[in-house]
A and B are shown apart, each in its own frame.
Chain A
Amino acid sequence: MPTLTISDLNVSYGRIAALHGVSIEVREGEMVGLVGPNGAGKSTLVNCIAGVVPATSGAVAFGERSLIGVRPERIVDWGVSVVPEGRQIFTRLTVLENLVLGATTRRDRAQVDEDLERVFARFPVLKAAGSKLAGKLSGGEQQQLAIARALMARPKLLMLDEPSLGLAPLVIDEMFAWLSELHEAGTTILLIEQNATRTIEVADRTYVLNKGKVAREIEDSEAAADTNLLETYLGVASERPS
């Protein structure tokens, strides 16, 4: 399975630089966290990897393949799936249609049906709501749908952009539990979060992004006890339950 390698990545919106010289790596089977305050460039990084925001300079590679200038529909075909910020499920399509769209790039029909059953087993609420419009689901259910939809592509790398945002505390607990399960099942995960404490707990390694730069890399959760660090880079963000 390929490794995601980002080196010296710069992204600007017009004259405003969103990322300067970001270098990170996500190796096979790892769950890597990426935390940082609002406006640190976290979503820009995800969108750039997914191919919907162009890089100004630098390199993004998944295994041997460069993702720079590649269309988003091809990047997902190569095994990189996104659970985007704000979930972005198709509210006017049914739950089932949303899930089937997740498998757009796949041609192994029979296995897609098996995966659908697997997803329903993991998220039973989606099975019950299959023919309902996705817009009628609650926030927590929509988040499950967004994750399930991304899984339908059988991603080699799953990127989640602030999946805990807007969820009730109990649902956040559940969500982190699903992510740990997925990770144990072998999925490589890049988890972007404002909820730094939880992320550092579940991730193998965590990068701290601040003002468009990697401010620090935390190798294990012991470092999380370093409250000084959290205050320095994350400030209020880590306190906020979001």
Chain B
Amino acid sequence: MTHVITYGIDALSQGGLDGLAALGIALIFGVMRLINFAQTAFITLGGYMILLLGSSSWPVVVAITVIVIALLAVATERVAFRPIREANMATLLVTSFAVSSFLQNVLIMIAGAQTQGVAFGASLLRSFSIGGAQVNKLAVVTIGVSLGLLGLVAAFLRNTRTGVELRAATENFRMARMLGVRANRVIAVAFAISGGLAAAVSFLVTAQSGSLTPTSGLQPAIVGFVATVIGGMGSLVGAVAGGFALGVATVIFQVALPSGAAPYNQAFVFAIVFLLLVVRPQGLMGAGLIEERA
């Protein structure tokens, strides 16, 4: 029973983290049909911001990093994606690869390619006991941060004017414009939120691993892409649910597989992903939005 609590909390924590990663990607995909590979670089750079701000207190690190990464995301849209907004999905995807590689290589030029240790949130790496079960503090914080941010974004999308405009643009961009929704503004807002979410993912991932490399952002971003596809491209709720399911599945495999196979749990998770897509190509909550955005 105590194991169930320990693993349950680990599963929820991984699920929440992957849900956050997925939301950042799904927001951009929804509003401009862009599979934004640059999200990888945003998550990585968030980690390096923590390193750069090393000696500051954590609220300062969090605030500055969120602002910097959100601005970087908005700037990327302005410089790289806006000029080719009407281009087809393949062009957008290749551009996002280019942007991602560019940022990553600039980072290597400045910070080097070697692995660097970061003591961020080190005090969270302890466990405490709930009814005899050992619970990781960081896992509880991750659950709290994930739920908090998901709730915040949901409230924004539901209750604010800009949020409703963003949802409308996600469903039918051209029609939203014909009603007066300002395309540039809505897309910039989506990028800012996505950048903020990337920063949140970097905090949680960096605290967990305690180290950074120029490819730190790759794994969470890939999970985000996969989650978006499983959820059904274009459905935000679907993407978050997909991310959550992936995270939970990762922990379940880790626990349930024999010890020799456990390190390869991702292989099992992704095997399920492709089997799922063979059976249900439109994803779990398929919105069928993989058509050209007009």
Q: Interface on A for B, CB 8 Å cutoff?
A: 50-52, 71-73, 76-77, 81-82, 84, 88, 90-93, 97, 100-102, 104-105, 149, 153
Contact = CB atoms under 8 A, between A and B. Distances in A.
A88 B177 CA distance: 12
Interface of B: 161, 164-165, 167-168, 171-172, 174-183, 287, 294
B167 A153 contact: no
Contacts of A52: 174, 177-178, 294
Contact of B182 (A50, A73, A93, A153): A73
Contacts of B171: 90-93
B122 to A, nearest CB: 43
Contacts of A104: 165, 179-181
A77 B180 contact: yes
Given A52-B178, A88-B175, A90-B175, A73 B167 contact: no
Given A84-B178, A101-B164, 6 more contacts: A52-B174, A73-B180, A76-B179, A93-B171, A101-B165, A101-B181
Contacts of B175: 84, 88, 90
A73 B174 CA distance: 10
B168 A153 contact: no
Given A52-B294, A73-B182, A73-B183, A93 B167 contact: yes
A104 B182 CA distance: 9
Nearest to A72: B177
A183 B223 CA distance: 54
B34 to A, nearest CB: 19
Question: Closest 3 interchain pairs by CB?
Answer: A105-B180, A104-B180, A72-B177
B164 A72 contact: no
Contacts of A153: 179-180
A93 B158 CA distance: 9
A82 B164 contact: no
A71 B97 CA distance: 29
Count chain A CB atoms within 10 A of each CB in B165, B179, B181 and give the residue with the most: B179
Contact of B176 (A50, A77, A101): A101
B178 A93 contact: no
Contacts of B161: 100
A91 to B, nearest CB: 7
Contacts of A91: 171
A90 B177 contact: no
B83 to A, nearest CB: 15
B178 A72 contact: yes
Given A52-B174, A52-B294, A93 B168 contact: yes
A7 to B, nearest CB: 23
Contacts of B181: 73, 101, 104
B164 A73 contact: no
A153 B175 CA distance: 14
A188 to B, nearest CB: 17
A102 B287 CA distance: 23
Count chain A CB atoms within 10 A of each CB in B168, B175, B287 and give the residue with the most: B175
Nearest to B163: A97
A50 B178 CA distance: 7
